[in-house]
Amino acid sequence: MPIWRIAGSYFEACNCEVACPCVFKSPPTGEDCTVLIAWHIDQGRFEEIDLDGLNAVLAAHSPGHMLEVKWKVALYVDELANRRQQDALTQIFSGQAAGHLAGLTPLIGEILGVKVAPIQYRSEGNRRSLRLGDIADAEIDGLPGQDGGDVTIGNHPFAAVPSFPAVVAKSKQMRFSDYGLKWEVSNKNGFFSPFVYQSA
């Protein structure tokens, strides 16, 4: 198994009301859960391959309780990556290379595909935004708490990113259209935080 480690910034946006109950292993607030998850790698290596500055996006559709039904997922890796970097990103974010994301593989019923695409990831204060070519875009803003600071959820049992509290956010928009799936929502749930994934 390859040795690797990546660290950076992540955010997600879904169609649940704020805050998404799926992270507590509860049903989504609607009939399904549709989510975009984006990662920007500040520092990363996969064996000897440098992954600094690259991005990846996962789109998922769960037609019900996320732990009780099988998801459809699509993976997108950064067009700025060379062939070896694209392969490394694919292995990491599909769960093939072990690490935290490998725990999601039993929940996936269908991998719709893996595409190389232009990915623009922005992090500005408490705002996170994504543009995935003409396939998807999303923008979320952190939800201010009683004292004006971040609202956070920590130690939740079902998390895209372990070991970091998730900052609760609300979407300005979240749009996706590919593989016959299409959704467009606003004023729904978002989370963001730093992330660290590694092989062991």
Q: pLDDT tens digit string along 88-105?
A: 999 999 999 999 999 999
Domain ranges of the chain: 4-186
In sequence order, which ranges of 3-146 are alpha helices (DSSP H)? 83-93
pLDDT at position 200: 79
Asked if residues 35 and 60 have their Cβ atoms less than 8 Å apart, the reply is: yes
Q: Is the pLDDT of residue 151 over 90?
A: yes
Residue 179 CA to residue 126 CA, distance in Å, equals 31
Q: What is the pTM of this model?
A: 0.97
Q: How many whole angstroms separate alpha carbon 95 and alpha carbon 60? A: 14
Does residue 140 register a pLDDT over 90? yes
Amino acid letter, residue 118: P
